[in-house]
A and B are shown apart, each in its own frame.
Chain A
Amino acid sequence: MAKSKLRKTFVEPLGKNNPVFVQILGICSTLAVTNKVQNTMVMTLGVTFTTALSSWTISLLRNHIPSRIRMMVETMIIAAFVIIVDIVLKAFYPEMWKQLGPYVGLIITNCIIMGRVEAFALNNKPLPSLVDGFASGLGYTYVLLSIAVVRELLGSGSIWGIRILGSWWTNWSIMIMPPGGFFVLAIIIWVIRETVMKEESHA
């Protein structure tokens, strides 16, 4: 029983309760970082790490946090984890840190993290909260990576910085600019809702 519940906690954010294409959360970063696969990867790893650990920490403290100041406590803990990501990147992956620049700090404002803490971690035990946070991070990760692959391929003719399309390819600059993010995200949401999600709701 407990195991199947844990599995459900893990699977839901990947599919029918996906933070990006169902809950439409974390859109700012979805639009901002997905013009390069490499940046997207680091950003999503950072978000996954932060959602998982902040959900876990807050779940541990959930019976002690005074409800009036809970938002402040949550923000503080989330910010601490994001700063850890920033410091580790700066020390060990300086090239990546340089490229991502201000985006790492902006993980703090990702609504998915706060959303999972408020909606799940405050009312659940630490282990399920950790799983929920981690799975939400993964759900965010694969959607962003698919967007990034499309945008980088069409916009720069490459994936992970490696040239895929030959010199005949004319880069669609619009794809690496903000409007490209809106287009690809909208198309992906539409396709998933029209195909996968529709079948599920009929069944």
Chain B
Amino acid sequence: MSVQRSFYKDRIYPLIFMFVTTLLCILLTSGLHLLTLDRAEANELSFARRAILQAADLDFTNTTDGIERAYRTQIGEEAGFYTATGTFGTRYIIPLDGPGLWGTITIMVGLEEDLETFSGVAIVSQNETPGLGARIEESWFTDQFKGKRAPFIMVEEGTSSAPQEVDAITGATRTSEYFKNLTARVPGEAQRLIRGE
């Protein structure tokens, strides 16, 4: 009898306890995940649309509704790329991703009709070091690419002068390099996606 009791207490009970705890935790977290899934997906979509608007260098109010309104009225969706039309003519926006320091960097690049001059660059997602590489999201960095053509040359922060040059981020040399390599692929990708060459 006592042997059976200790077998239950030492072996079976911990097993059941762990199983039940795990089950409860999983139910709780998956339940919450499913409840908020729509919201999370809507947020993702909104981030991507905002990036498209920023890359096309359009004006919009930075709220969920503002992004949605601007996107609906000014952006056209094509197979693999987007178009924006306005007084400036037509701009093409292509999505692009490539390696960063810690993970994949996904960006949207807006191009003028020549498919070479950048109208803007916007980050969709990145996993760079917060406070250092993650500063590629800051507007002073992305704004530098407007009106310029790839490939770029990264120079020390605050020293860019020639048209090919952009300021790198101090303390994030590697991220800056990865970003430069990513933008260098833009003309080729644009030809492939938009012209189908």
For B13, the chain A residues whose CB sits under 8 A away are 66
With an 8 Å Cβ cutoff, the count of chain B residues facing the other chain is: 27
- Residue in A35, A64, A65, A98 whose CB lies within 8 Å of B131: A35
Interface flags for A121-150 (1: CB within 8 Å of B; 0: not) read: 000000000000000000000000000000
Nearest A residue to B123, CB-CB: A98
- Residues 101-118 (chain A) with a chain B CB within 8 angstroms: 101-103
Instruction: Check if B164 is an interface residue, CB within 8 A of chain A.
Output: no
Instruction: Check if A9 is an interface residue, CB within 8 A of chain B.
Output: no
Give B46 Cβ to nearest chain A Cβ, in Å.
8
Interface flags for B2-21 (1: CB within 8 Å of A; 0: not) read: 00000001100110011001
Q: Is the interface of B mostly helix, strand, loop or mixed?
A: helix
Q: Is the interface of A mostly helix, strand, loop or mixed?
A: helix
- Residue in A33, A69, A77 whose CB lies within 8 Å of B17: A69
Instruction: Check if A8 is an interface residue, CB within 8 A of chain B.
Output: no
Nearest B residue to A73, CB-CB: B21
- Residue in A64, A80, A103 whose CB lies within 8 Å of B28: A80
* Interface contact A77-B25, CB-CB below 8 Å: yes
* Interface contact B171-A176, CB-CB below 8 Å: yes
- Residue in B18, B25, B39, B130 whose CB lies within 8 Å of A100: B130
- Residues 115-153 (chain B) with a chain A CB within 8 angstroms: 125, 127, 130-132, 134
Which of B29-37, B70-78, B86-94 touches A? B29-37
Instruction: Check if B47 is an interface residue, CB within 8 A of chain A.
Output: yes
Instruction: Check if A23 is an interface residue, CB within 8 A of chain B.
Output: no
Give B168 Cβ to nearest chain A Cβ, in Å.
12
For B36, the chain A residues whose CB sits under 8 A away are 87-88, 90-92
* Interface contact A173-B17, CB-CB below 8 Å: no
* Interface contact A83-B29, CB-CB below 8 Å: yes
Kindly list the 4 A-B residue pairs having the minimum CB-CB distance in the complex, ordered from nearest: A91-B36, A35-B131, A80-B25, A94-B43
Report which A residues bind B (CB closer than 8 A): 33, 35-36, 39, 64-66, 68-69, 72-73, 76-77, 79-80, 83-84, 87-88, 90-92, 94, 98-103, 155-156, 171, 173, 176-177
7 further A-B pairs in the complex, CB-CB below 8 A; given A68-B10, A80-B29, A176-B132? A68-B14, A69-B18, A80-B25, A87-B33, A90-B43, A94-B40, A94-B46
